Amino acid sequence: MSVLHAVQTEEICGLGTPPSSADGPLSRSLTFTQETGGLNILLTIDVEDSLIEEIRSVSADITVIEPENQDRIRDVIGEVDIVFGVIDPHMLEHAPRLRWIQCSAAGVDGTLSPQLAASEVILTSAKGYVGVHLAEHAMALLLALTRGIGHAVRSADWDEKWPIRNASWELLGRTMGIVGLGGTGRDLAVRASAFGMHLLAIDPEPVETPECIESCWSIDRFGDLLEQSDVVAVCAPLTPETDGMFDRDAFRRMRPHALLINVTRGRIVNEDALLEALREGWIGGAGLDVTPVEPLPSDHLLWQMDNVVITPHTAGASPERDRRTTELFCQNLKRFLANQPLLAVIDKEKGY
């Protein structure tokens, strides 16, 4: 792989090998696509060569550029039409041709800068395409709590058998309240239903509701969901409305045995309120893949609590993720070329 690798065919570029950095900022291939109405796609995430080939196969009139550092992005950003990944918001003013950014993550709170929000650049995400592994991880955290797995691993003591058995409970017949019924929330609902759980949900939008969900309410019934749930699962994106949503008042409305599961964004939960709720017994425990501050310091109180299970923001990992997001990008690229509406478009005002 060259320092700046333009993935293109000999027929399109007229080159036997990709140009190296010594050839300049890809002037020949970029000029070609500009003159013929082609598109230059900047790839800022690591993608396997086979998946890059899938992107190339969408059209003969595209060039895929893989820079290895920020300096090289600066060299080419002025000729870029599409970004697959993310770019520094300060680059936007140097990208007059940029029309669309496909983010590889579902949440865009780290991508949707004021500069991007104010621009005419379309932003799409992987929302609806990463729910499977987030939902499976949420169930893993939940089972680690209800079956005492976290306790057993920490204690490394066979004599803890009876305390663990006495504290364990079944999911069958329990109620899960899902906060945010996007792709992750829907996938979690299907899995929780398979365990025989009753399901409630809230969402700020009218959304498609799986049959397994008994009630889906508007966000103004957040308190009702908390009061009726044995498990509360955070599946919402981080927005100004959800930032700190789980505050002291929210925890006081939860059942004393209820468990909080969070696999989306840590800042949706107020850290001080969570610590107080766990210490005072307002809730029964928490399974967290995300925390308000990341990385969570090794001496943080949350690590030390027996009724808390933490994973270090790993729920988004899956060997299938790159394939799924690349397939989404290719679908959207075909739509873009055909002037059709894109999938998973972000409403910049709402943040999701």
Nearest to 19 by CA among 30, 31, 4: 4
Q: Which of 133, 265, 267, 271 is catalytic?
A: 265
Do 24 and 118 fall into the same domain? yes
Q: Is the pLDDT confidence value at 13 over 50?
A: no
Q: Is the pLDDT confidence value at 10 over 70?
A: no
Question: What is the value of pTM for the model shown?
Answer: 0.84
pLDDT band (50, 70, 90) for residue 37:
low
313 is catalytic: yes
Do 25 and 104 fall into the same domain? yes
Query: What is the Cα gyration radius of the chain?
Result: 23
Q: Is the pLDDT confidence value at 18 over 70?
A: no
In this prediction, residue 70 carries a pLDDT of 74
CB 15 within 8 A of CB 28: yes
More confident site: 280 or 34: 280
User: In Å, what is the CA distance from 290 to each residue of 35, 91, 178, 212?
Assistant: 47, 29, 16, 27
Q: Is the pLDDT confidence value at 7 over 70?
A: no
| Residues in a beta bridge with 83 | 42, 101
The verdict on residue 350 lying in a domain is no
Do 124 and 151 fall into the same domain? no
Do 142 and 29 fall into the same domain? no
Q: Is the pLDDT confidence value at 295 over 50?
A: yes
In this prediction, residue 130 carries a pLDDT of 86
pLDDT band (50, 70, 90) for residue 233:
very high
In this prediction, residue 153 carries a pLDDT of 94
Domain extent, residue 87, equals: 4-129+319-337
Q: Which of 48, 93, 294, 320 is catalytic?
A: 294
11 is catalytic: no
The verdict on residue 202 lying in a domain is yes
pLDDT by residue (tens digit) across 129-185?
Answer: 889 999 999 999 999 999 999 999 999 999 999 999 999 999 999 999 999 999 999
pLDDT band (50, 70, 90) for residue 283:
very high
pLDDT band (50, 70, 90) for residue 264:
very high
Cα–Cα distance for residue pair 255/9, rounded to 1 Å: 61
Q: Which of 99, 147, 221, 313 is catalytic?
A: 313
In this prediction, residue 5 carries a pLDDT of 35
56 is catalytic: no
Beta strands in the chain (DSSP E): 4-7, 39-43, 62-67, 82-84, 100-102, 122-124, 175-179, 198-202, 215-217, 231-234, 259-262, 285-288, 308-310
- Across 245-274, b (16+ Cβ under 10 Å) vs e yields bbeeebbebbbeebbbbbbbbbbbbbbebb
pLDDT band (50, 70, 90) for residue 128:
confident
Cα–Cα distance for residue pair 298/320, rounded to 1 Å: 30
Do 281 and 167 fall into the same domain? yes
The count of domains in the chain is: 2
Place of tokens 């017994």: 281
Mean pLDDT of the chain: 89
In this prediction, residue 67 carries a pLDDT of 82
The verdict on residue 252 lying in a domain is yes
Q: Is the pLDDT confidence value at 22 over 70?
A: no
Q: Is the pLDDT confidence value at 50 over 60?
A: yes
CB 63 within 8 A of CB 40: yes
Nearest to 83 by CA among 95, 75, 93: 95
Do 211 and 141 fall into the same domain? yes
Q: What is the CATH number of the domain that holds 172?
A: 3.40.50.720
Do 285 and 189 fall into the same domain? yes
Q: Is the pLDDT confidence value at 51 over 90?
A: yes
Q: Is the pLDDT confidence value at 33 over 70?
A: no
